[in-house]
Structure formats: structure tokens, C-alpha cells
Amino acid sequence: MRDQAEILEPRAGMLDVEFSTFLAVVRYHSFSEAGERLNITQSTVSYRIRALERRMGLALLDRGRGRQGVELTSGGEALLNLAERWEALHVDIQQLSRRVGTLGIGATDSVNTYILASVYRAMVAAVPDVQLRVLSANSRELYQLLDRREIDVAFVLYARSSGGYRVEEFKREPMVVVTGASLETNDGQVSLEELDPQDQVQVGWPDPMSGLREARGLSRISVDTGHLIRPFLAEETKWVSVPISMASDLAQPDGLHIYAIADKGVDRVIFKVVRSRLPWAVRQSYDLLERCLEVVPDRSPRPPE
């Protein structure tokens, strides 16, 4: 049995590749997927993990039979925290000479298009050489990207706790109904219960932007992005429930009607999720994002035409 000093003494560069491999296995839950991402063979991944376990004197991953993917042992949980700090430090060193680092931002399609687009414009206007990488995905996919550290901040439609990031409510906005039909209202509001579900255009399945987690009936039309709604609303009886942030854009220039919703509990809540440890250069870009988010306007539904 080697003594502790021998166990912990690495050769130059070995911990770099072993920590990187360990983090890839944890983030992709698979030796084979980690190998593909790192452009190495699965056997090389296994070899590096075994070498790291011998060096640490700990079992890091549970590879039990019948288990889908791999799970961290208690030793692996402890090392994960240190490995992520090591990774963040390496990124800080690499980006030290840069004025700002690349900030990865993910959001659902409607949030990116109708809320954050003006924020991105403001960021570029304030710091022309800011480096941004923006993508759209549903909330579940955005959490996966955060887990894999492929993005730094996400705007999602539900909260999920984790030690790897912090979650806070970013914006709450009312849902409205957009339709070509002239609907009877009560104090300018309509009830979803009184609308024909078969005429509804459902948006964003399986990550509904409507705020309605279960459909009230059988809708014949479902689309995954707001850009596809307008053609279906050419039929006057069709209707859609959308956040107020996209309603005015959707209604123009076709003269569609916008109605406030009387039903309770249909507001859309957007959460901002930020990685717990942002590299130094990335934090500068994130601080710029925070400043620009302060000017995001609140919108209220306008009365029907």
C-alpha cells in the first residue's frame, strides 16, 4: 500500500486530463458520451477515471450493474466540488488577458425573442466587444446545459434547486388570449373555460408557454415556437393563450384582438438561473447583463379593439 504522499503526488498535466475526464463523465452521465465529447475512446475514459481513483484513494463513481448511467459516491461528490473550482480557476487564468469573456445565455424561444432581444441590443450598445453566445431551448434542456456548464445563465419556466446554481424569480407576466374573433367579455376579460379547446392553438409542447400544464380538451393544432402561431389565427375562430410580452407583436399587422384572462393562476413566471461559480472574465459580461435587465419593461394587457 502506497503512503499518502505518493498517492496525492501527480505528474505534471495528469490532473488536468483526469479532472476534465471526471467532469465530463459526471455531466454526461456516461463513459461513452464523455469519450465522444472529449474525442477519446471509452476505454481511455475508464483508464483515466481508475487512475484518478487510485490517486485519490477513493471510489468516485458507482457503476453498479443494472444502473442507467453512473452516479457519484460520497467521495465523488466531494471531489466534484473541488474539480469545478479547479476548472473555474483554469478558465480565469486563460481569460485573464481578455477584457470580457464569452457569456453563454439560454432561454425559451419566446423569452429570447420577445423579452431578451432588447437586452442583447443594449449589451452590445454598451460594450461593443462583449462576447455572447445565445441559444433557445425548452426549460428541461436549459437545465441540462447548465448542469454540463455549456451555458452560464438560463431563463426558464420552472424552478429547480441545485447546489450548482442559484435560482430567482425574474419576471411574472399575465397571459392573454389572441384571436380574430370578437368575444363576449366580463369587464374586458374572457374565461378560458368558455372557449372551445378544439379551436386552441397550443404552443410550446412539452414546455408550454401558456402556463397551463394540462390541456382542457383536445386541441387539433400544436406548435413549438411563437413564429408558427399567426398562420393558424387566419381562421377567425382560432385562439391562442400567450404571454403579454408577445401578444402585441403577434396581433400586428393582422388586426387580431387581445383579451385579458379572468382565470386565476395563469400568469407566466420566468426564473433566472445562474451558475454558482462564474469565471472572472465571464462575470464582467454577466454584470453587464444584470445592468441591462434592469430596464426590461413591464407590460399590461390592452383592451380589445
Element at 240 (helix H, strand E):
strand 239-243
Q: How far apart are CA 87 and CA 46, in angstroms?
A: 20
Q: Does domain 4-95 have CATH number 1.10.10.10?
A: yes
The identity of residue 130, as a single letter, is: V
Tens digit of each residue's pLDDT (9 = 90 or more) over 92-119: 666 655 555 789 999 999 999 999 999 9
% of the chain surpassing 70 pLDDT: 82
Average pLDDT, the chain: 82
Higher-confidence residue: 30 or 255?
30
Question: Smallest Cα–Cα separation from 127: which of 295, 296, 285?
Answer: 285
**pLDDT value of position 7:** 40
Alpha-carbon dihedral sign for residues 73, 74, 76, 81: positive
CATH 3.40.190.10 spans which residues of the chain? 102-171+268-293, 175-261
Q: Which CATH superfamily is domain 102-171+268-293 in?
A: Periplasmic binding protein-like II (3.40.190.10)
**pLDDT value of position 292:** 95
What average pLDDT does this structure show over 8-32?
Answer: 76
**pLDDT value of position 206:** 52
Higher-confidence residue: 266 or 268?
268
Local confidence band at 218 (pLDDT 50, 70, 90 cut-offs)? low
Contact at 8 Å (CB) between 72 and 29? no
Which backbone phi and psi does 17 adopt, to 5 degrees? -75, -35
Q: Does the pLDDT at position 210 exceed 60?
A: no
Q: Does domain 175-261 have CATH number 1.10.540.10?
A: no
**pLDDT value of position 238:** 92
Higher-confidence residue: 25 or 12?
25
Contact at 8 Å (CB) between 275 and 152? yes
Tens digit of each residue's pLDDT (9 = 90 or more) over 185-198: 888 899 988 899 88
CATH 1.10.10.10 spans which residues of the chain? 4-95
Q: Does pTM top 0.85 for this prediction?
A: no
**Which residue, chain included where needed, has cell 453563454?**
104
